[in-house]
Amino acid sequence: MTVNKKLFGTFEGVFIPSILTILGIIMYLRMGWVVANAGLVGTLVIISVSSFITFLTALSVSSMATNMKVKSGGIYYVISRSFGIEVGAAIGIPLFLSQVIGITFYLAGFSESLKYIFPNASSTIIAVISLLGLTALTYYSTDLAMKVQTFIFIAIVLSLVSLFLGQPVAETNANLPLNFSTVSYLAVFALFFPAVTGISTGLSMSGDLKNPAKSIPLGTMAAVIVGYIIYMAVAVALYYFAPANLLNSNSLIVTKIAYFAPIIFLGIWTASLSSALGSLLAAPRTLQALAKDNVLPKILGKEFGISKSPHIATFISILFAGGALFLGGIDIIAPILSMFFLTSYGALNLAAGLESFMKNPSWRPQFKTHWSLSFLGAALCFSAMFLIHAPSTILAFISCFCIYLITHLRNISSSWSDIRQGLFIMTARFALQKISSYKKEARTWRPHILFIQVLENNFTSSLTNLIYMKHLTQNRSFISSIFLEKKQIACVNSEKEQNEISMHSFIPYNIYDIKKELSKNKINSFSKIQEYQDYTQTSLDLIQDYSIGPIEMNSIVLNFPKNNDIKLQSLLYLIDEAKKQKKNVLIFNFHNAEKIKKIELFLNSNKNAEGKNAENFLLVLSHMLSISLKKNVSCIVNSNIENNTEDNTEDTTKESAKYIVEKLKKELKEKRLRFKVIDSSLGQKSSGSILQRITGKGQCLQILNLASKEDFNTPEEYLNYWKGLQSKYICNAVDEEKNTNHQIFAMANEEISFNDVLN
């Protein structure tokens, strides 16, 4: 026979734990001190601001609780299911510590009040004995703990009645100003704020509720409102019932005022012990939820008995609470507790605000809160933290970030979705809309690359190309990688189709494996696999139409053609189309991903405007690569580096090599480019070769200008130019010198002045 777990309703499951935490030791032992140091008006303001923050957080909690099935873990569960497991861990672990310190805080208050009767008793011993007693209660039965809290609530109500029926002691404050202070308001606020932080207790018990979606909003809001009214009334009563000197010096002034003092002591003891009990019930469940999500070792989340109580998590919580007993008294622990709670509440408000603002279809809370209220709550929480103690706030944020980073590096998988993708989509949409309203400017130019690659047996060549694209973009602009996969067809009829299949074979790569490989190499790329039948037509369509909203891919990266006439003809067609579309072309010829030793940039002494823009394009590319690769650039200039079909003019041939070199040095200096200039023409003649090799052997990246079809008189000459490149860099593969150097051939087609980019 299966016995169902005991579940609780709104009153005993949420309202009672929350209101008992709110009406705790601050009300009995420090409310007089607050009034004495902040004055009546100041106290009412502090109570109102603190309660307002808690009220806004309660609204956010209510929205979150009625939009999802809140399970054990409370605040941690809500945040982790909204922002992901990393942010959940970053908030959940400090939240657990705050709940543990809360146990110590309430026990410190209990010890302080008990020392009034037993002045020689040790506060630490009293706290330890109390902790062990509460632990035995929670181990024995959570249900019994809940029933005990009902009697505690009755005792607190009776103590409040006794207080309000009391009489003034000594002189009243009637003749004192409404505002007087000996310490700063912020110090008073920091000490008082933990008094109104009881809403997390009910949420932490969400896994033990019959109907969390109903009980959490109703019970939490009721506790906040009732607590606010009581605190305001207690502040007014203390102000008019006792003089400032007694309020400031006597922490048990309420016993002097009360109609029946013993019931006040009963209220203090029951309030402090019940608050400690509430935290002792909540902390293990937060720890248990962290363990279930693999943030912490699984053993911590083990459940025992019919009630599935987290005994191991409870034991760990007790150890932490016992250690925290040595932190000090109420006045030391309260500000620390405030920082922890403000961090958690701020994250809760932020999560609810973002969910409400984005209005995803999945966001359908039964209790609706406008996003502006949640954002206001988050802003107040974080502002209050900085005002209380800025260095501690910064330290808290750094600690949360470290936990986030460690959790992220562990790569813990989660079975739920969160709002991060929606948040990024919303941000991207806003950014793209803004970008579309701006015209293209040279100052902000960067290469946005479209890389078209057929999937091959060896993915290494594609990966090598992408690694150098990463260096070229410096991970500051877009790389879109389209991997073409041959669409399988039933039969092959034409010779062209046979050539296509032999040229590009079908390889069953998984896009997730590709993305994993790119991520391992820290390559940020939009990648996808696309089927094709005709390689040229598919690539042509991509060159013409591919973009990311208003961001067009301004540079097309293609592979250097192997010794295959079909590939070469296809490549030339794509280059021609890219030129028509005014997109730059980069032809990569990389043999491996080994580190290069140097960068060589080859320049003509071309004087026409198009040639100068092409030269500046090469300078831009060389500069970006030199920054990423941390290599110097050797700028090699020759009056006739490449064999163009046009004859050199008489004026060009008369220019001295020295003049060309000095002029280039001056231009580079004006552009703030520290390139070494080398003259390759002195004592050398062009003898029909594609490129005069003037550098020694070594792993070198060579950047060269790519001639366009318009630079030649006939298509045959243009084709021969490319075949010459193939012969130079592909055919003689056994040549060690040619194998150890890489090439990037660049063609500037974009309608932009690259001189302006440099200047």
Residues 6+ apart with CB under 8 A from 272: 24, 25, 28, 106, 107, 109, 110, 113
Average confidence (pLDDT) per 10 residues, the chain, 759 residues: 65 83 87 91 94 93 79 80 83 87 87 84 85 79 66 90 88 50 80 84 66 82 94 94 87 89 90 81 86 88 76 87 81 83 88 85 84 95 89 86 86 69 79 84 90 80 89 90 77 52 51 86 90 90 91 90 76 92 92 78 73 89 90 77 46 58 82 82 43 54 90 88 82 52 91 88
Rounded Cα gap, residues 381 and 57, in angstroms: 9
Is residue 429, in this structure, part of any structural domain at all?
no
For residue 531, the tally of other CB atoms under 10 A from its CB is 11
Is the CB of residue 527 less than 8 Å from the CB of residue 459? no
Q: What is the dihedral of CA 130, 135, 141, 143, to 10 degrees?
A: 60
Q: 471: closest CA among 591, 632, 622?
A: 622
Give me the helix-helix angle, 460-473 and 609-629, nearest 10°.
100
Query: What's the domain range around 711?
Result: 594-643+654-682+693-759
Is residue 417, in this structure, part of any structural domain at all?
no
pLDDT score for 652: 47
Matching residue, tokens 């939820």: 289
Q: What is the dihedral of CA 134, 138, 144, 146, to 10 degrees?
A: 80
Is residue 600, in this structure, part of any structural domain at all?
yes
φ/ψ bin of 672: left (φ > 0), alpha (ψ from -120 to 50), beta (otherwise): left
Q: Which amino acid is located at 73 in the chain?
A: G
For residue 304, what is the DSSP state?
Answer: B
The 3-class SS string of 606-632 reads CCCHHHHHHHHHHHHHHHHHHHHHCCC
Rounded Cα gap, residues 66 and 214, in angstroms: 7
CB-neighbour burial class of residue 489 (10 A; exposed 0-12, middle 13-18, buried 19+): exposed
Two tokens at 516? 């994993």
Is residue 546, in this structure, part of any structural domain at all?
no
Is the CB of residue 276 less than 8 Å from the CB of residue 138? no
CB-neighbour burial class of residue 733 (10 A; exposed 0-12, middle 13-18, buried 19+): exposed
Q: Which residues pair with 484 in a beta bridge?
A: 454, 530
Q: What share of the chain is helix, strand, coil (3-state, %, to 5)?
A: 60, 10, 30
Q: Are strands 598-603 and 633-637 parallel, antiparallel or unpaired?
A: parallel
Q: Are strands 479-486 and 547-548 parallel, antiparallel or unpaired?
A: unpaired
Rounded Cα gap, residues 103 and 204, in angstroms: 15
In Å, how far are 8, 88, 275, 342, 378 from 73, measured between CA atoms? 16, 11, 18, 18, 21
Residues 6+ apart with CB under 8 A from 683: none
Total number of domains in the chain: 2
Is the CB of residue 680 less than 8 Å from the CB of residue 639? no
Is the CB of residue 275 less than 8 Å from the CB of residue 106? yes
Rounded Cα gap, residues 288 and 164, in angstroms: 42
The CATH number that applies at residue 629 is: 3.40.50
Rounded Cα gap, residues 671 and 619, in angstroms: 10
Two tokens at 179? 């505002």
Matching residue, tokens 């999945």: 362
Task: Say whether 81 sits in a helix, a strand or coil.
Answer: helix
pLDDT score for 232: 96
pLDDT score for 372: 95
In Å, how far are 140, 475, 584, 609, 754 from 443, measured between CA atoms? 71, 18, 18, 20, 10
Rounded Cα gap, residues 8 and 28, in angstroms: 29
pLDDT score for 416: 65
Rounded Cα gap, residues 495 and 756, in angstroms: 49
Two tokens at 430? 């806003």
pLDDT score for 643: 42
Two tokens at 76? 């941690």
Is residue 444, in this structure, part of any structural domain at all?
no
Two tokens at 494? 């034409």
Rounded Cα gap, residues 142 and 135, in angstroms: 10
Rounded Cα gap, residues 617 and 702, in angstroms: 14
Rounded Cα gap, residues 621 and 702, in angstroms: 11
pLDDT score for 508: 46
Rounded Cα gap, residues 652 and 663, in angstroms: 14
Quick one: how many helices (H) and strands (E) in the chain?
A: 29, 12
Rounded Cα gap, residues 680 and 640, in angstroms: 10
The CATH number that applies at residue 27 is: 1.20.1740.10
Is residue 148, in this structure, part of any structural domain at all?
yes
Is residue 437, in this structure, part of any structural domain at all?
no
The alpha helices in 242-310, defined as continuous H runs, are: 244-249, 253-257, 261-292
Question: Domain boundary residue among 355, 380, 410?
Answer: 410
Question: Domain boundary residue among 410, 434, 458?
Answer: 410
Is residue 182, in this structure, part of any structural domain at all?
yes
The per-residue pLDDT for range 645-657, each reduced to its tens digit, is: 444 544 444 456 6
The per-residue pLDDT for range 247-301, each reduced to its tens digit, is: 888 888 898 899 998 999 999 988 888 778 778 888 888 898 898 888 888 888 8
Question: Domain boundary residue among 372, 392, 410?
Answer: 410
Residues 6+ apart with CB under 8 A from 739: 591, 733
Q: 269: closest CA among 161, 166, 151, 169?
A: 151
pLDDT score for 173: 52
Matching residue, tokens 């552009």: 671
Burial 586-610 (b: 16+ CB within 10 A, else e): bbbbbbebeebebbbbbbbbbeeee
DSSP letters along 231-257, please? HHHHHHHHHHHS-HHHHHH-TTHHHHH
Q: How far is CA 304 from the centre of its chain?
A: 36
Residues 6+ apart with CB under 8 A from 651: none
